[in-house]
Structure 1
Amino acid sequence: MLILHKNNNINGLMDADAIIIGAGACGLMCAVQAGYLGKKVILLEKSEKPGAKILISGGGRCNYTNLFASDEQFISANKHFIKSAFNQWTVEDTVGFFETYGISGKEKTLGQLFPDGKNAKDVVAVFTEICADFGQQIICDAEVNDIVVAESEFTIQYTRAGKSRQLKAPKLLIATGGLPIPKMGATDFALRFARKHQLNIIETAPALVPLTITGKDEEWYAQLSGNSVFCEVSNDQITFEENILFTHWGLSGPAILQISSYWRRGEEINIDLLPRQNITEQLEQERSSNGKLLLSTVLNRHYPRKFTEAMGKFLPIEKQVASLTRGEIELIHNRIHLFKVKPAGDKGYDKAEVMRGGIDTSELSSKTLECKRVPGLFFGGECVDITGWLGGYNFQWAWASGFVIAQNL
């Protein structure tokens, strides 16, 4: 539970220059940037504390941006929409912002930037401390019940500590996130409000989510549970090279989470279990130099022993390389490099990192993120139809959208 500073009545009958619903990454950045511009905002947060999703990101370490972030790593019905926001607030701006407040970045892999020697709590503290300095008010445990939209005025009715309360402002930002991780307070508030005002919604679904396997292969995946293998995972849209993790219910790991955002139920996924290498060439070399080697010995060079043993369901792993027939070598090649999976489904919003889809970007100005049909209303962050890859990309969109909106409050 957190309240920073008392409410000041400004602009006549208005309580603030803007009300922000949702004290997540987008909402917090917007409040801070508005403070730099001398604008007073009030943040309403449903959870007990601000930045709840920031706090659990990256296992509490918070992968707060990606050095390679551009419009190319985002999914949207309008793939060009994000360009304006990213031109206004760049990765360099994010890095510089956090460095100013004592958080320097340390690159892990693939451009992922984590706080060096600090964690997600320190990231959230940057925002709450700046908000305190600017007198921006954060009200937690606030359940918004209704929003009355009138000309040049938004009246927000909310409940806190069992009491009904009301706020008024000429501008409103809804940054309540998406549907993943309901136990962390995820809500469909933004989507419901948008529908109420006849705004178009791009179909939503879990994204960056593990995929499930059922049927005759389920037992095979279960026996491999806990094994991680570096792979190339692809479909007809995109390719990712990262680890996959076998689980008792299917597949997870970075490569699977990435491809899940591009996967649709009923489609197959292609997995190359030995990318950038050629198992056929390796077997041919062994046939001429050490043909008595067992196939299992060759595979154990690349995979955990448990994985090799499980491949015995499909491959003659106990045969000597020299005795493998051409048909068997072709089978091995196809199983290693053209392993096909048809997931039954995904693990849903409970396990998803983000939501795919959301408020149609055609309803918003790409330059300001203001709603075209409802002047003074803004949407930012995850509730908008912009979904990034795993690895700090979605945070970069949250920071950028918060910055852009603050300039236009």
Structure 2
Amino acid sequence: MTEQIDVIVIGAGAAGLMCAATAAGRGRRVVVLDHARKPGRKILMSGGGRCNFTHLHSGPEHFLSANPRFCISALRRYPPAAFLELVERHGVAYEEREPGRLFCRESARPILDLLLSEGRQAGVELRMGTGVRSVQATAEGFAVATPTGTLHAEALVVATGGLSIPRMGASGLGYAIARQFGLPVQPTRPALVPLTLPEHLRRPIGDLAGISVPVRVRCAEAEFSDDLLITHHGLSGPAALQASSYWQPEVPLSLDWLPGVALHDELAEARRRRSKRALHRCLEAHLPRRLARVLCDLEGWSGPLQGFSNRGLEAVAQRLQEWRLTPAGTAGYAKAEVTAGGVDTDALSSRTLEAREVPGLHFVGEVVDVTGQLGGHNFQWAWSSGVAVGQAI
């Protein structure tokens, strides 16, 4: 069976559904293809099932890309306030956790329902459980072969996402299509992902699994202050996930275990009071007991404060506030929230996300080399890029 339509969208995730509804709302006949049985599975599991659907202050400084300015056009034309207006129009109950981070109050389902409703009202046709066998350029646009027939359209939108969470059907199809049409692809890697510990730290640190503490972590040019969660295999929690997007193999992280604490002054004052307490007991004022003891054991610090010179206390404070750790790696795509890297933005128009050398071919969302920090920025990129393409095709 051969079918002629206006727009084919490959991928029924956040960006693909947003793009399809926008394009159909302009009178275009749109078909969305996805090999999964149900749409928006990643939406439903995100944010602990409550979907951190945007960040009120999302801007280019919250994104990682080979071209950091690429996202500006789409974000300006469809900012967080625009999506929030859509959320409120659909009566979705939401709440703000931490400044700017918006979550559904009960479950993520209303966000998916919102997208499906917008698409349904505009006439979007969803074809789930429909894999893509091949994509070819034609004189009139593109031909996409599926198990049930071939669709022809003048515009093709690739909204296939990245490689994250393969158990939910993630694949490299979007990157393969880009390469097929001669578009460069920036190297991909897991992002917003737990970091694993080197062998010599797996037991002493891993045995502290379940402990969560506020830290400041620095990696390359990025710095984040948030909670760090110790797991059996490594480091997780917001601080580690944020740093992971910027981390490269064999590059050390710098951890400040006591952000905002004038540690040297506290220790020096305790010594002046002739305290007989051991160093690890003094650290327990700010750190969980087991963590304080393990850090002291790893550094070889023992005995009462009276045994430390002033220079020794300075060294202790500096070490704990610039504790260097080189992760062994990451937990991989299976545990990554997103994929960093992707279709090179130099090959795309920042206004329409159309391939410069292939008219009618567009890429949206995670498949593009635009990766947001934790906090709703990746969903905002999905909405903004989806609208940008939907308005252009």
Interval containing the TM-score (normalised by the shorter chain) = over 0.9
Q: Is the 8 A contact 1:214 1:249 kept in 2?
A: no
Task: Give how far 1:198 is off.
Answer: 1.3
Deviations 1:188-230 (A, max 9, x none): 0010111111111111111111111222222212211111111
Residue 320 of structure 1, CA deviation: 3.3
Deviation of residue 287 (structure 1)?
2.5
> Equivalent residue of 1:65, what SS?
strand
* Cα separation, 2, equivalents of 1:256 and 1:128: 34
2:79 alignment partner in structure 1: 90
- Output the CA distance in 2 between the equivalents of 1:77 and 1:236: 15
In structure 2, distance between residues paired with 1:16 and 1:60: 35
**1:7-58 per-position Cα deviation (integer Å, ceiling 9, x unaligned):** xx9xxx9633201100100011112212322222111111111101111101
Give the TM-score, by structure 2 length.
0.95
| Among candidates 129, 132, 145, match of residue 117 of structure 2 | 129
Which residue, out of 9, 22, 28, partners 2:11? 22
CA distance in 1, matches of 2:143, 2:6: 12
Alpha carbons 1:152, 1:375 under 8 Å: kept: no
List alignment gaps of at least 5 residues for structure 1: 1-8
Given that residues 42 and 138 in structure 1 are in contact (C-alpha distance below 8 angstroms), is that contact kept between their aligned partners in structure 2?
yes
User: Which of these residues, 134, 151, 173, is aligned with residue 167 of structure 1?
Assistant: 151
Q: Retained in 2: the 8 A contact 1:232–1:241?
A: yes
Runs of 4+ in 1 over 6 A off after TM superposition: none
Aligned twin of 2:370: 386
1:74·1:386 contact (CA, 8 Å) conserved in 2?
yes
Q: 1:64 aligns with which of 53, 66, 81?
A: 53
Matches within 5 A, 1:5-404: 15-115=4-104, 117-159=105-147, 164-289=148-273, 291-314=275-298, 319-404=303-388
RMSD: 1.8
* Paired residue type of 2:76: N
Q: Distance in 1 between matches of 2:300 and 2:222?
A: 32
Q: CA deviation at 1:122?
A: 1.2
Shift of 1:118: 3.2
Indicate if the aligned counterparts of 2:198 and 2:326 stay in contact, CA closer than 8 A. no
Q: In the alignment, is the contact (CA less than 8 A) between 2:220 and 2:247 conserved in 1? A: no
Q: Distance in 1 between matches of 2:4 and 2:154?
A: 9
TM-score, normalised by the number of residues in structure 1: 0.92
Q: CA deviation at 1:81?
A: 0.8
Aligned-pair identity in percent equals 38
Q: Which stretches in structure 2 are left out of the alignment for 5+ residues?
A: none
Q: 1:316 to 1:322 in 2, by over 3 A?
A: farther
Q: Which amino acid aligns with 2:49?
A: G
Name the residue aligned to 1:6: none
Distance 2:29 2:269 in 1: 71
C-alpha distance after superposition, 1:72-129 (max 9, x if no partner):
11111111111110111011111111111112431112421102x3321111011112
Partners of 2:190 and 2:333 within 8 A in 1: yes
Q: Distance in 2 between matches of 1:328 and 1:78?
A: 45
1:269–1:342 Cα contact (<8 Å) kept: yes
